[in-house]
Amino acid sequence: MIAGSLSRREMSRALGILYAFGGSLALVWTTLPHQPDRGDAVAVTMAFLAIAIAIALVIGADRASALVLHGAIGVVQLVIAVGYLAEGEPYGDGRLFFIWATPWACLYFGVKAAAAHTLWTAAVFATSLLLMPAETHHMAAGVYLITMGTVTATACLVSWVAHKLHAAVAAQRHLALRDPLTGLPNRSMLALRAADAVRIYAERGGTLAMMVIDLDRFKLVNDTYGHTLGDRLLKEVAPRLTNAVRASDLVVRLGGDEFGILIYDADATFDVGALAGRVSAAWADPVLLGSMAAHTGASMGIAVATSPADSAESLLRDADAAMYVAKRTDPGGWLLFDDRMREGMAERLQLEHLLSGAIENDELHLVYQPIVDLRRAQICHAEALLRWDTPVRGPVSPALFVPLAEETGLIFPLGRWELQTALAQLARWRAAQIVPEGFVLTANISARELKAGFSSQVATMLDDAGVPGSALGLEITETALLNDPVTAARETIELRALGVRWLLDDFGTGYSSLAHLHNFPLDAIKLDRSFLSEVHRPIVEAVVALGAKLGLTVVAEGIETAKQAEALSELGCIWGQGNFFWRPMSSTELEAQLAAQAATTSERQGSRPPAFAATPVASAARLT
């Protein structure tokens, strides 16, 4: 309890309780056995007056002003003075009650208020001594000095204690309302300021908006260079954000690599788009982290209040939803929230809930799309694809649930289930000699899965299934290699040593760095379907030639027509995959296709289809 820590309402009630306590004690005192004197009537009167004031202070606490509270303290001193005069003894115990007002005022109002009440006490006490019987006046000076000395000493002691308490509470409040790393306000401060902002908007109108900012590729910096440099990056970001906004706007750190900006008390013409542009411009220059320059950006979502009924919580929620949409559809850009995003978030939450129980509820299954030898139009390998059918929504597109799984971390159990199921199916096919010799079953892995320990997990799954590594292919995107190149290289090399084949998926749609083809033990690149039109024929020809030079097999994805298949074969592309040959099918359907193919091949050629070679890692093994 220090200056400013109690509201007027609390202060009024505290004074009321003090009045009631003092008045009750006075009434009890008058009922105790003692020698009746002239002070009894005065004490009873003052006691009832104190209780009446107490009731008024408690009942009127909500309407009490600072002036009323100061007045109440002053009146208490007058009540004490009347009782002191009734006692008639300068050295009587009644004078000790004068001491209370100064420390009380110091604790609850501060040093200046305490000084003022000390002067009031000095005046009231001096007047009381003057009104004492004349025969006691020779003692007045001594009593006054002793009593006021005690008041002053108590005031100094309480002031010192109050100052220390105030500093401690202020530091605690600062820690409670500030982010210790960046020094920016935190969520707690945002909640307080946002409540005021909503009130101001409801009263005056204008513009009230919330912006949520999520740093792009922050995890890459954190994982690659360590948390120390990651923290330095966050510290460098903070002043860039504060310099991009008005002095009245509030920049906060929401947590992790997320920041927020509260725009309030702005007129109706305030342009949030211009603000988003200034914030985006803050990332134009790289962030210097010692000897390294980190190029970063941010995805932003903005929610603007449209009704006085809008709350701070709804604005933050809507801005967060817009940010997630921006991060998925336009990384590094910004989006203004609309109601369709709210519907999308509700759908997303429902989907996340359903996906979390997909394995337990046996809603997942695999389908298989053949990889074809374009020269013979024969199935030589296949890709396992994860599918999800829900009793509530029916089939859900992988384009919808896979990104959600990656974002929520559900990709880890889903990925394990997919790989274990694929290897178990492959083991059954191999045991029954359904698949041709050299058959490789590929499976997709997420960028998030390719982390430390992944190779040992896959090795355990291979052992459990009894499948050699050479029968398994793993498809990864360039993003997986970029997230943590050191870990990615280590994990891919360890699995390649077991014979596992690596395929770079969607080649040509990402960074397409030739360094990846050289630095990682890749066996094949899968050419994205977007390059299969006639207009991209030179690109396809160049990629096939590049693969041949580097010893990489090129697998063309998304073949839809005979013309595309013929053109690819003419260009030297050996492997192809697409609906022109076969759509993804069940394991039973693939078995039937393989059985029919085996019979036909045996009758016509007496030979088996070509298989992926399994050469040692030291010779840069590739798919051939």
For the segment 488-520, what is each residue's pLDDT rounded down to a tens digit? Answer: 888 999 999 999 999 988 776 655 556 667 778
* Residue 50 DSSP SS3: helix
Q: Which residues contact 36 (CB under 8 A, 6 or more apart)?
A: none
Q: How far from chain centre, in Å, is Cα 373?
A: 48
The per-residue DSSP string of 420-483 comes to: HHHHHHHHHHHHTT-SPTT--EEEE--TTT-STTHHHHHHHHHHHHT--GGGEEEEE-HHHHHH
Q: Are strands 364-373 and 378-390 parallel, antiparallel or unpaired?
A: antiparallel
- Which one-letter amino acid corresponds to residue 116? A
Res. 618: pLDDT tops 70: no
Query: Directed axis angle between helix 218-225 and helix 227-244, to 10°?
Result: 150
List for the chain the helix, strand, coil content (%; round to 5). 60, 15, 25
CATH number at residue 269: 3.30.70.270
151 and 29, same domain (yes or no):
yes
Domain count of the fold of the chain: 3
Are residues 245 and 152 part of one domain? Answer: no
Q: Are residues 314 and 448 in the same domain?
A: no
Residue 197 sits in the same domain as residue 259: yes
Cα 571 to chain centroid, rounded:
50
Quick one: 313 and 424 in the same domain? no
Q: Is residue 307 predicted with pLDDT exceeding 70? A: yes
User: Quick one: tokens of 354?
Assistant: 């359903």
For residue 454, what are the CA distances in angstroms to 447, 473, 509, 525? Answer: 11, 14, 25, 21
**pLDDT at residue 348 tops 60:** yes
| Residue 342 domain-assigned (yes or no) | no
Residues 238 and 99 in one domain: no
CB 580 within 8 A of CB 561: yes
- Tell me how far CA of residue 517 lies from CA of 248, 263, 420, 485, 539, in angstroms: 51, 47, 28, 13, 17
**451 and 552 belong to one structural domain:** yes
Say whether 259 sits in a helix, a strand or coil.
Answer: strand
Q: Is residue 526 part of a domain?
A: yes
pLDDT band at 363 (very low <50, low <70, confident <90, very high): very high
Among 316, 337, 358, which residue terminates a domain? 337
Structure tokens at 348: 């997303």
pLDDT of residue 25: 77
% pLDDT > 90, the chain? 23
Number of CB atoms found within 10 A of residue 616's CB? 10
- Tell me how far apart the terminal alpha carbons of the chain are, to the nearest angstrom: 80
| Whether residues 356 and 299 fall in one domain | no
339-356 and 398-408 helices cross at what angle (nearest 10)? 80
Q: Is residue 3 part of a domain?
A: no
Question: What is the band of 473 on the pLDDT scale with cuts at 50, 70, 90?
Answer: very high
Q: Which pLDDT belongs to residue 624?
A: 34
Which of 337, 358, 376 is at the close of a domain? Answer: 337
Task: Please say whether the beta carbons of 480 and 499 come within 8 A.
Answer: no
What is the rounded average pLDDT of the residues 576-584?
Answer: 93
Q: Is 617 within the bounds of a domain?
A: no
Pick the last residue of a domain from 177, 195, 214: 177
Which pLDDT value is given to residue 109? 67
Q: Which of 159-163, 246-250, 308-312, 517-521 has the lowest mean pLDDT?
A: 159-163
Residue 45 β-bridge partners: none
SS3 category, 504: strand
Residue 615 lies in a domain: no
State how far the Cα of 505 lies from the Cα of 523, in Å rounded to an integer: 11
Do residue 436 and residue 287 come from a single domain? no
Query: Is 147 domain-assigned?
Result: yes
Side-chain half-sphere CA neighbours of 25 within 13 A:
8
The C-alpha atoms of residue 458 and residue 9 are separated, in whole angstroms, by 66
505 and 522 Cβ atoms separated by less than 8 Å: no
Q: Which residue range(s) make up the domain with 229? A: 187-337
Q: Are residues 199 and 95 in the same domain?
A: no
Tokens linked to 276: 């988003």
The residue that leads in pLDDT, 152 or 2, is 152
**Residue 591's pLDDT band (boundaries 50, 70, 90)?**
very high
Same domain, 23 and 126: yes
pLDDT, tens digit, for every residue of 200-250? 888 888 888 999 999 887 876 776 667 788 888 888 888 999 998 888 889
> Would residue 501 count as lying in a domain?
yes
> Is residue 447 assigned to a domain?
yes
488 in the same domain as 599: yes
pLDDT bracket for residue 11 (50, 70, 90): low
